[in-house]
Chains A and B, each alone.
Chain A
Amino acid sequence: QITLKESGPTLVKPTQTLTLTCTFSGFSLSTSGVGVGWIRQPPGKALEWLALIYWNDDKRYSPSLKSRLTITKDTSKNQVVLTMTNMDPVDTATYYCARVLMVYAILWFDPWGQGTLVTVSS
């Protein structure tokens, strides 16, 4: 069974840095074609992809947020960490991590973690 779970603060102040951890089980991030991605969803709004990291440590970021994001992995701990700097109230959202599978250049997210709601407020 594959599971992912996000953890981190539920409340951050404007200008602070958010650090979220995705802890997963049931797959290895050293397997070819496997990655972990982060996606967020503001309350009542659509999904927005943020970043992903592949088994070979290749990293991809949303261009609109690239300057604020860093994604890293710890394969031995089965964890992926996302940091987002200079948080703003518009960053209030549920943050999801998900396993990424890439086969013959087709990529999809499956499964997803339960998500963690992060509120940005002073």
Chain B
Amino acid sequence: EIVMTQSPATLSVSPGERATLSCRASQSVSSNLAWYQQKPGQAPRLLIYGASTRATGIPARFSGSGSGTEFTLTISSLQSEDFAVYYCQQYNNWPITFGQGTRLEIK
């Protein structure tokens, strides 16, 4: 099973600043990586798939990069609605696995 490790567990950033979230795979997942955003009491929402392709309706301030074992989700200028928990998910090998999440909080 591929283990996905996200860092940091919690990230404190001020509105308007840039946030960088990391996801590391225990072995290569090529570009078969997705990012999701989850707000309290809500279901996850797809942000990025294929490591760098924004899902429909996702603002351009969200970007994904990386391949192999190292991935990054960048939010260029944080808006109030961006404070949430973010998960990465790999599909390169079964089983599908998720990271443990990064909580993005207001500084």
**A interface vs B, CB < 8 Å?**
37, 39, 46-49, 52, 60-64, 96, 105-115
Closest beta carbon of chain A to B35's beta carbon, Å:
9
Q: Which residues of B contact A106 (CB under 8 A)?
A: 31-32, 49-50, 91
Closest B residue by C-beta to A63? B95
**B interface vs A, CB < 8 Å?**
1, 31-32, 34, 36, 43-46, 49-50, 55, 87, 89, 91, 94-101
Known pairs A49-B96, A49-B97, A62-B95; A108 contacts B34 (CB<8 A): yes
Known pairs A109-B34, A110-B46, A111-B45; A46 contacts B101 (CB<8 A): yes
Closest B residue by C-beta to A48? B98
Instruction: Report which of B44, B50, B94 forms a contact with A60, defined as CB distance below 8 A.
Output: B94
In the bound complex, what is the Cα–Cα distance between A52 and B36 (angstroms)?
18
Q: What are 22 residue pairs bridging A and B, where the CB atoms are less than 8 Å apart in the complex?
A: A46-B87, A46-B99, A46-B100, A47-B44, A47-B98, A49-B95, A49-B96, A49-B97, A49-B98, A63-B94, A105-B32, A107-B34, A107-B96, A108-B49, A108-B55, A108-B89, A109-B44, A110-B46, A110-B49, A110-B55, A112-B45, A115-B43
Would B99 and A114 count as touching, CB distance under 8 A?
A: no
Known pairs A47-B98, A106-B50, A110-B55; A96 contacts B31 (CB<8 A): no
Would B95 and A108 count as touching, CB distance under 8 A?
A: no
Q: Which residues of B contact A47 (CB under 8 A)?
A: 36, 44, 87, 89, 98, 101
Closest beta carbon of chain B to A4's beta carbon, Å:
9
Closest beta carbon of chain A to B89's beta carbon, Å:
7
Would A107 and B91 count as touching, CB distance under 8 A?
A: yes
Instruction: Report which of B34, B43, B99 forms a contact with A113, defined as CB distance below 8 A.
Output: B43
Would B46 and A111 count as touching, CB distance under 8 A?
A: yes
In the bound complex, what is the Cα–Cα distance between A89 and B1 (angstroms)?
24
In the bound complex, what is the Cα–Cα distance between A37 and B98 (angstroms)?
14
In the bound complex, what is the Cα–Cα distance between A108 and B88 (angstroms)?
11
Closest A residue by C-beta to B44? A112
Q: Which residues of A contact B91 (CB under 8 A)?
A: 106-108
